[in-house]
Amino acid sequence: MNADLVVIGGGWAGCSAAWQASRRGLKVRLLEAARQLGGRASSFRDTASGETLDNGQHLFLGAYRDTLRLLDELGTAGFVEFDRPIRIPYLMADGRVEELRGSGLPGPLDLGGGLARFGALQPRDRVQLLRLGLRSWPALASAALGWIPAAAAGLSVADWLQACGQGAPIRSLLWEPMVLAALNARPEEARLSEFLAVLGQGFLRGGRSAALGRARAPLSQLLAPLPALLRLQGSDAELGALALGARPLPGGGWRVLRQGGASLDSRRLVVALPARGAARLLGTELAASLGLEREARRPASAIVSLWLWSESPLLPRPLQAFGPQGGAQPRFHWGFSEARAGGWRTCVVASAAGELARFDSQALLASLAGFLAGRGRPYTWNRARVVREHAATVRFEPGSQTRLAQATTLPGLALAGDWTETGLPATIEGAVRSGRLAFESFSFDER
């Protein structure tokens, strides 16, 4: 055997699996087709500006325990900065900024205290929030303890909000932006179970768990130390290495076929690709036996990111949520800005952006200019770059099939990815957790 473990896919899931195995003494080979690590949450070089841009602006949550532990062990956790207590400024339709700021009290009192002081809420909204707390406290309390009721998988977030008496104004102001940010889906398309997990493991625990963080370095830089650290442990990461297929060996183990290179044999294999890519790699028969073909048919949600360079700041705050306008949720949901040499760089993000992703770049930028002008903000820039991710995340719809586990029925094979069963939405934390669970799915004797 060439290795104790081969990991195919160098996204956050694959990096997590490779690191977990290597640091425990296994000889690991990580294969990634791209020239850098990170997968769908990575960076690219913008030739016009000479800057490295993320393919989409990602927020980190203080509850991302697996992710922060991985970054700490890689030596890059310091690049992620958190605001604590939670602080979210909303740019409202009339141009004013209203800030939702946690109280700093323990547990759910952190968010609850912040909502009590949130100036954008009307008296009726506060009554409806109290009604939600009274009606759903058992589900929220169990979610905070890490247990999600099975019935939640059959409900949409919209169903739950309606049952809890949440009217249209509070949904468009508070709940829909939260669902869009956490699940990249509209409340009517989002499964309640994943949303309760975000509430329970993050916002309801308060303190560091509820804090929002931003990476002050490109996402690709956060994982960049991994190849060198793997080599120090006797393992390796091969970038630009395309795996064409993987087949079980008659005597046990797996053989990985590589483009332009010799095959690679290993005792164990972690496939850390999107479900469709995993199905192609393993072939029709194996994919069908694992349920991968059905998993690959789940719908996906798009994200559109508009990068803008301007002489003056386009947004009043470095991190900016956009409140509702005229009773309708805006097309653009979050903005991020920072001072650069000679001006400002801004990224405006639209989640669940299936419609917007079909616009051409000029139409997208014209729509954004009108949106900013309507809120009294500067709407001219020197240059722009539009990034479309048509299948940014998988979407777990209400009543859809159970997600696949990391462990499989095939000896020595595990799956990893934010689409596998982690209890979380398709996020960086879900991907990193899946990689750890994939490694842990191998029995102690197999290691």
- Pick the closest to residue 442 from 1, 2, 7 (CA basis): 7
Confidence at residue 328, expressed as pLDDT on a 0 to 100 scale: 61
Q: Where are the beta strands (DSSP E) in 167-313?
A: 212-215, 236-239, 243-248, 254-258, 264-271, 300-310
pLDDT at 94 over 60: yes
Indicate the helix (H) or strand (E) that contains 437: helix 428-440
Q: What CATH number corresponds to the domain at position 314?
A: 3.90.660.20
Tokens of 192: 């309640």
Q: Which of 394, 409, 433 is the last residue of a domain?
A: 394
**In this model, does residue 446 exceed pLDDT 50?**
no
Rounded to 5°, angle at Cα 306 from 304 and 311: 170
Q: What is the mean pLDDT of residues 300-313?
A: 95
Round the average pLDDT of the chain to a whole number and report it: 93
Q: Are residues 190 and 266 in the same domain?
A: no
Tell me: do 171 and 113 sit in the same domain.
yes
Helix (H, G, I), strand (E, B) or coil at 221: helix
Does residue 320 share a domain with residue 288?
no
pLDDT value of residue 127: 94
**What pLDDT is attached to residue 342?**
85
- Residue-wise pLDDT for 256-295, tens only, equals 999 987 899 999 999 999 999 999 999 999 999 999 999 9
Q: At residue 447, does pLDDT exceed 80?
A: no
Q: What is the mean pLDDT of residues 50-62?
A: 87
Kindly report the length of the chain: 447
CATH number, domain of 241, equals 3.50.50.60
Beta strands in 131-276 (DSSP E): 212-215, 236-239, 243-248, 254-258, 264-271
Q: Which of the four pLDDT bands, split at 50, 70 and 90, describes residue 327?
A: low
DSSP code for 189: T
Looking at residue 207, its pLDDT comes to 85
Q: Is 6 helix (H, G, I), strand (E, B) or coil?
A: strand
Query: 105, exposed or middle or buried, with CB in 10 Å at 0-12, 13-18, 19+?
Result: middle
Report the domain count for the chain. Answer: 3
Last residue of a domain, one of 157, 176, 207: 207
Kindly report, residue by residue over 366-385, the tens digit of the pLDDT. 999 999 999 999 999 999 99
Average pLDDT over residues 119-135: 92
Mean per-residue pLDDT, 307-321: 95
Q: Which of 342, 363, 362, 369 lies closest to 50 in space, CA to CA?
A: 342
pLDDT greater than 50 at residue 36: yes
Structural domain ending residue among the three candidates 156, 180, 207: 207
Between CA 135 and CA 139 the distance in angstroms is 9
Q: What pLDDT, on the 0 to 100 scale, is given for residue 386?
A: 95
Segments forming the whole domain that contains residue 388:
300-394
Asked if residue 68 is part of any domain, the answer here is no
Q: Is residue 212 part of a domain?
A: no
